[in-house]
Every structure is written in structure tokens, then in C-alpha cells.
Amino acid sequence: MGSTSLWQATAGDWRPAPPRATPSRAFDCLIVGGGIVGASVAYALSQEKPAWKLAVADRRQVGGGATGRNAGFVLAGTADHYAVSVAKYGRATAREVFAATVASQRRVRDFLARRPAASCDYLPCGSLTLAGTDAEAETLAQSAALLREDGFDVTFIPHDPLGRGFRAAIRNARDAGIHPVKLARALLAASGAAIFEQWPVTAVEVAGNALLARGERGALRAERVLLALNGEAPGFDAFFADKVVPTRGQILVTAPCARRLLSEVVYANEGYEYFRQLPDGRFLFGGGRRAFAKAEVGADESPTSDVQGFLEAFKNQRFPELAALPVERRWAGTMGFTRDGLPLMGRLPGLDQAWFSIACHGHGMGFGLEAGRLAARMIIAGDPPPLFDARRLDAAATVSGELPG
């Protein structure tokens, strides 16, 4: 079983063209991190600046981090129910954030429509968000009403459409499932970027009129650098230490079930549990960290007996038909959480042309392609998008009188 995810094990051959020796002139942009955000930035830059020479460096392989270790959900919205987001951010910001994820979904569909050979196992199956308590059911009802008022097409169901002991649901017919590693690879292949795998970058520094990204395998020279490091950001630079909390997410996958029990991808219990039935009949269950929250903070990617045991108990309680099915694979991955639950974009202090786009708070596949577009525009225009500008965290701390973190 080990910690290799299903997506990493089933992505097929990946043989990007070996990068030529570092050219004497710099790359126009080097992206550090080959996950969904890094791949989306590379693709967006290739569309906006086709003459630019792009490179992507990853300390592992493309999709080796959180992108290759998630559940493959392409969901609209954030980790919070919409009514909670409205209370947290205000109505206008909540709507703008949700609209950004809807735009990202559209970009995924458009990208795959132009490249049918890169299907990436895309499943336009829709999603269910299930309430585990009466209080959560009321929040779902409020969320559905607010979403419809704000122009988003969702359906509230005042009962459990699965008959599995939940209280209510929201159905979003535009949500989807996907093979996340295949999508990241397809975006990078379409970008034409030079790919440097197994190439850890440990520091970025000024080198004349350019930047030098240094690491144990050598240095890469670039006019601009974009850090797409997600939960690994605090280990790269102290600037991120009070802004990003590395948090482990865990998943298991069963042997195939002969019956089709699920069509949608499913979030339940305020998103702390999530599951889907894959096309081959296998079931994927993830989450389970609520009771073990402190132990799940950090960059350790080893599955634990506590969380895995919880996931198996949840599976057997909600789907007793699966109790006899063996678990075929278990894995864990590191997400990047932020204090307010939104992604972070901006400029690395002291380096005018070093930027970052990180920490989608567990919803990287939902934000992915739109985050890539916004980060590409940030690099080109020289200013982060107001919605995800990391400076908001320091401003909020100043207003509240609290220190960051």
C-alpha cells in the first residue's frame, strides 16, 4: 500500500523532454512547484506571453505533492458552506470567491475541449454536500438560498438523497471529478515549459538583472520566479511561517464494488469527510481529521492508524455493503491552510520579481486554473489580485490588534 496515491500510480508514462543545459540567458519565468497551481500558471503564461521561455522545477515529480494526493474533486466554493463564507468575508467577497472557482471549472472544461486526447478522466458528475446534523442542514438551506440569489445554480434537498443517515444536501450539477496528476501533466505539456523534476530549489537570490534559483542540483537563472509551493512554503522561507499552516490530509481506496452506489462526488459533515465511487467501482474515502486536528498539523505524509481507522469506521457505518471489501491503498498529503481560508498571492519581500501563489486551503483543484490565470496576470502586471493579496492578513492583524499567526 504505502504512501503512493492512486493518481500517482495510475497516471501512466510521463517523459517530459529532458531540459537542455541552462541557457546563458535567463528563462523569462521559472515556476517552482509542479502541482495544479504551478502547472496552471505555466499554461496561462504560455497563452498570455507565447514568446516567453518558461521553466518549472519541482523537488519531486510533477504531481508529487498535494495535487497528486487529493481526492480529485473539482468543486466550486471554499472549505466553508456559503452562508459561513458570507458571514466571514461579507457578501460581495464571498460571491467573488465562489465565482473564481466557477471560472476555474469553466477553464478546465474549455482546456479539455480543445485537447480531447488529454481527457484526464474528467467526470462531469456533479456533487452532493451532505449535512450530518440538523444545525448543518439549516446552514445548507441558508447557503443554497444565498447562492441562488447571487446567481449560482444549486439545488437544496431537504432530506438525504443517498439514504445514508444524513439530514439534507446541496446538489451542484457543475462540479466534477478528475485525475489530478493527468491534468497537471496535460497543462504543463501544453505550456511548452522546460520541466526540471527531482530538482529542489532551496533559495532565490538576486543575480545582476535577474534572479538565481539555487539548489543542490544547480542553479536556474530567470527574469522572474513564481513560487507555487502550497504547504511546503513555510519550509522554504520564513516569510510564510505565520501565513501558511501545513496540514495533513488522508485518503483510502477500497477494492472495486460490483454495484454502482454513487454517481456524484460527495462532501459531508462540513467537509471533514468526503468520498466518491470511481469509474472502476472502487470507493475513495478521505478526511477524518477533525478529532485528530493537532496531530494532523505538519508536513509528515505518512498515513496514521487513528485517521485511517476513523475512515474505515465511517465507510462501514455509512456503506455497510463495503465492509467486506479490502482497502487497496492508503496515502496522505500536505495541504496549505491559511488563517482566513483563502489562497495567498503576492511578492516575496526584498525580491522585486519573485512572486508566490500558494495555499488554497485544501481546494487547489477548485481554484487551480483561475488561480493560475490570476497569478500569471500578477507576474505580467506587477500587482497581486486584490481578492487573494496576502497583505490582507497583515492588515487584518493590525486592525484587530493581534500579531500575525
Confidence tier at 400 by pLDDT (50, 70, 90): very low
Q: Which amino acid is at 307?
A: V
Q: Which amino acid is at 211?
A: L
User: Residue 377: enclosing H or E segment and its boundaries?
Assistant: helix 364-381
pLDDT of residue 116: 84
Q: d(Cα 342, Cα 337) in Å, to the nearest integer?
A: 8
Average per-residue pLDDT for the chain: 94
Q: d(Cα 126, Cα 128) in Å, to the nearest integer?
A: 7
Q: d(Cα 39, Cα 284) in Å, to the nearest integer?
A: 25
pLDDT exceeds 50 at position 320: yes
> Cell digits for 318?
455509512
Q: Which residue ranges make up each domain of the chain?
A: 25-124+175-244+338-405
Which of these CATH numbers, 3.50.50.60, 3.40.1010.10, 3.20.20.140, 3.40.605.10, describes 25-124+175-244+338-405? 3.50.50.60
Q: DSSP code of 27? A: B
Q: How many helices (H) and strands (E) does the chain have?
A: 10, 19
**Which candidate, 298, 271, 292, places its Cα nearest to that of 362?**
271
Which residues on neighbouring strands pair with residue 347, listed in sequence order? 355
Which residues on neighbouring strands pair with residue 283, listed in sequence order? 277
Q: d(Cα 199, Cα 209) in Å, to the nearest integer?
A: 23
Ordered alpha helix ranges (H), 62-197: 82-89, 91-114, 134-149, 180-191
Confidence tier at 22 by pLDDT (50, 70, 90): low
pLDDT average, residue stretch 276-291: 97
pLDDT average, residue stretch 205-234: 95
pLDDT average, residue stretch 1-30: 81
pLDDT digits (tens, 9 = 90+) for 265-275: 999 999 999 99
pLDDT digits (tens, 9 = 90+) for 350-368: 999 999 999 999 999 999 9
pLDDT of residue 21: 58
**pTM of the predicted structure, to 2 decimals:** 0.95
Confidence tier at 402 by pLDDT (50, 70, 90): very low
Beta strands, E only, 178-238: 194-196, 203-207, 210-215, 218-222, 225-227
pLDDT exceeds 60 at position 398: no
Confidence tier at 24 by pLDDT (50, 70, 90): low
Confidence tier at 67 by pLDDT (50, 70, 90): very high
pLDDT average, residue stretch 168-174: 98
Ordered alpha helix ranges (H), 192-281: 233-236
More confident position, 116 or 348: 348
> Which of the residue ranges 17-31, 224-238, 326-340 would you say has the lowest mean pLDDT?
17-31
Confidence tier at 397 by pLDDT (50, 70, 90): low
Confidence tier at 2 by pLDDT (50, 70, 90): very low
pLDDT average, residue stretch 76-80: 96
pLDDT exceeds 70 at position 399: no
pLDDT of residue 347: 97
Decide: 73 and 128 in contact? Cβ < 8 Å: no
pLDDT of residue 181: 98
pLDDT of residue 235: 94
Q: d(Cα 174, Cα 183) in Å, to the nearest integer?
A: 18
pLDDT digits (tens, 9 = 90+) for 232-260: 999 999 999 999 999 999 999 999 999 99
pLDDT of residue 129: 98
> Which of the residue ranges 12-16, 31-35, 85-89 would you say has the lowest mean pLDDT?
12-16
pLDDT average, residue stretch 290-308: 96
